[in-house]
């Protein structure tokens, strides 16, 4: 069985426990084991964009150092925000010796220096590049027949170019997963439009507008549900449907699932691992439809 | 009062500081408007994304300080991947935000949102504070 170090991040231990539990169950069913990184830190959630702000890369580098101390040079994560922050930071620190030296001298209480060799890959890349969608297709026990899914990528898996897990303007990795699961991927031009991200804290109206546009586009193209890979996208597209309905009374809700929840169902796993109780829009009808 | 363009304004240290913080060359932008056309949040902005670059090019600091645009930008990076000049506008927006935050002025007062904070994902709260407070 293949093994890889897994970095959960703060939200997968909190509002997105359904993402973590379903992903761990899927990985076991697909013969690769996720080992949770020891003593991991919050990654900081956003990549520091200013050139002189090295301080905010420390959280990232400490995580890279923990991976290095376990004798590994790569690890994986599920949350798109963690992926983007860890990937961009690791690129900057791995490729820039001066930055690395400065950060190592900041962390003088650490036993070891970070050597600049650790890389992160996203869970979806493992599914595509190391397991393969053809193998996943063979392992599907409960094909998601008659289910039309809208693949929502958001921003952070695709942009900027140097950290993209697929083509930034026309990705297909989620569509290929959906097809392997036996479902249909609907045409979805809003699949990589920003949901408003952290503006959900102080600019709820803006996020409600974004969510209304994105969900409306998925529904007009016939989607039964939206698939996501980011806990913040999930919150903005799922939980914010409450505020969308308040603003647009004729709005009809749509379930939003993590791609790992759909995969767990397709692999024939117990639906309890999906923790659907944490999804805002009810998913029961959708699950019942698959089982029949 | 309307902004008065002068030799001093276009050569101001402010422009150099933004270039230093963002790592971008401000004069590289020729205002094709692709960033503004593709920006998913432009409808909530008082200035379009390329108008922010124009204000920096002219050294119009007052306009930059009062605009909501840098605070609406959520660094989704759509503009950067499409820019024909390869300008990372997200880093420029961050530099403009930092010019305010580094004077110890927060844009967000988290105490106002305590009612809802517990239901938000931790990544939402941490990133909002990282981007909008000093």
Q: Which residue has the tokens 């108008």?
A: B51
In this prediction, residues A279-287 reach a mean pLDDT of: 94
- Compute the average pLDDT of residues A18-46: 97
Could you tell me the domains of chain A?
Answer: 2-123 (1.20.1050.140), 132-291 (3.40.50.11810)
Cβ of A199 and B132 within 8 Å? Answer: no
Instruction: Please judge whether A199 and B72 are an interchain contact, meaning their C-beta atoms are less than 8 angstroms apart.
Output: yes
**A154: nearest Cα among A91, A210, A77:** A210
Q: Which two tokens stand for residue B24?
A: 């971008």
As a dihedral over the C-alpha atoms of residue A76, residue A260, residue A32, residue A75, rounded to 10 degrees, the angle is: 0
Number of C-beta neighbours around residue A63 at 10 A: 29
Query: pLDDT tens for residues B11-32?
Result: 999 999 999 999 999 999 999 9
Decide yes or no: CATH 3.30.2290.10 for domain B7-103: no
Percent of chain A whose pLDDT exceeds 90: 97
pLDDT at B113: 84
Residue A65: predicted pLDDT: 98
- The radius of gyration computed from the CA coordinates of chain B, to the nearest angstrom, equals 16
- The answer on pLDDT for A238 being more than 90 is yes
ipTM: 0.95
* CA–CA distances in Å: residue B106 to residues A46, A77, A119, A268, B129: 17, 32, 34, 50, 9
Closest CA to B106 of B74, B131, B81, B77: B131
Question: Cβ of B42 under 8 Å from any chain A Cβ?
Answer: no
Cβ atoms of B3 and B60 within 8 Å: the answer is: yes
Residues of A engaging B, defined by a Cβ cutoff of 8 Å: 9-11, 14-16, 42, 44-46, 49-53, 56, 79, 81, 155, 158-161, 168-169, 192-194, 196-203, 205-206, 209-210, 231-232, 234-235, 239
Residue with token string 């505020």: A243
B115 and chain A: CB distance < 8 Å anywhere?
no
Q: E strand or H helix at A236, and its extent? A: none
Tell me how far apart the alpha carbons of residues B109 and A286 are, in angstroms, rounded to a whole number.
40
| Sign of the C-alpha dihedral computed for residues A140, A235, A232 and B52 taken in this order | positive
Would you state the pLDDT for residue B2? Answer: 81
Cβ neighbours for A25, distance < 8 A, ≥ 6 positions apart: A264, A269, A273
Backbone torsion region of residue A271, taken as left when φ is above 0, otherwise alpha when ψ lies between -120 and 50, otherwise beta: alpha
Contact residues for B57 (Cβ-Cβ < 8 A; gap 6+): B10, B15, B26, B27, B29
Residue ranges of chain B with pLDDT lower than 70? 1
What part of B 53-82 touches A (C-beta under 8 Å)? 72, 74-78, 80-82
Res B1: pLDDT: 60
pLDDT > 70 fraction of chain A, expressed in percent and rounded: 100
Residue whose structure tokens are 């692999």: A267
Number of DSSP helices (H) and strands (E) in chain A, helices first: 12, 8
Tally of residues, chain B = 134
Q: How confident is the model at residue A61 (pLDDT cuts 50, 70, 90)?
A: very high
pLDDT at A252: 95
Q: Where are the domains of chain B?
A: 7-103, 107-134
pLDDT at A4 over 70: yes
CA distances from A160 to A35, A88, A157, B88 (A): 28, 9, 9, 9
- DSSP labels, A64-114: HHHHHHTT-SEEEES-HHHHHHHHHHHHHHHH-HHHHHHHHHHTTTSSS--
Q: Chain-wide mean pLDDT for chain A?
A: 96
Tokens representing A35 are 């080992």
**Cβ within 8 Å, pair A210-B131:** no
What is the reported pLDDT for A292? 64
């Amino acid at each position: 069985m293949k093994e890889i170090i897994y970095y959960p991040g703060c939200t997968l231990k909190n509002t997105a426990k359904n993402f973590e539990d379903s992903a761990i169950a899927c990985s076991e069913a697909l013969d690769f084991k996720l080992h949770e990184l020891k003593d991991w830190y919050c990654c900081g959630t956003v990549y520091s964009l200013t050139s002189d702000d090295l301080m905010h890369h420390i959280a990232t580098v400490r995580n890279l150092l923990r991976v290095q101390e376990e004798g590994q040079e790569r690890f994986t994560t599920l949350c798109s925000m963690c992926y983007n922050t860890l990937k961009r930071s690791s690129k900057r620190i791995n490729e820039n010796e001066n930055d690395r030296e400065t950060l190592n001298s900041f962390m003088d209480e650490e036993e070891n220096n970070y050597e600049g060799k650790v890389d992160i890959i996203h869970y979806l890349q493992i599914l595509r590049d190391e397991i393969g969608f053809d193998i996943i297709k063979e392992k599907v026990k409960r094909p998601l027949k008659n289910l039309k899914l809208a693949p929502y990528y958001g921003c952070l898996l695709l942009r900027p170019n140097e950290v993209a897990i697929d083509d930034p303007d026309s990705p297909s990795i989620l569509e290929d997963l959906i097809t392997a699961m036996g479902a249909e991927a609907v045409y979805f031009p809003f699949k990589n439009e920003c949901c408003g991200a952290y503006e959900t804290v102080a600019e709820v109206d803006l996020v409600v507008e974004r969510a209304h546009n994105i969900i409306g586009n998925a529904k007009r193209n016939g989607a039964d549900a939206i698939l996501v890979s980011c806990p913040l996208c999930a919150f903005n597209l799922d939980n914010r449907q409450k505020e969308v309905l308040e603003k647009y009374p004729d709005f009809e809700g749509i379930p939003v699932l993590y791609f790992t929840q759909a995969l767990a169902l397709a692999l024939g796993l117990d639906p309890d691992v999906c923790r659907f109780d944490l999804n805002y829009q009810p998913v029961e009808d959708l699950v019942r439809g698959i089982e029949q | 009062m309307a902004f008065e363009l002068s030799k001093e304004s276009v050569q101001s240290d402010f422009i150099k500081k933004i270039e230093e913080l963002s790592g971008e060359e401000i004069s590289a932008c020729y205002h094709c408007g692709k960033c503004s056309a593709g920006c998913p949040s432009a409808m909530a902005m008082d200035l379009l994304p390329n108008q922010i670059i124009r204000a920096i090019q002219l050294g119009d600091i007052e306009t930059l300080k009062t605009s909501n645009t840098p605070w609406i930008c959520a660094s989704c990076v759509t503009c950067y991947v499409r820019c024909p000049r390869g300008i990372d506008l997200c880093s420029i927006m961050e530099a403009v935000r930092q010019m305010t935050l580094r004077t110890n002025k927060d844009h967000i007062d988290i105490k106002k949102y305590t009612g809802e904070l517990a239901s938000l994902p931790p990544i939402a709260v941490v990133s909002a504070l990282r981007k909008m407070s000093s």
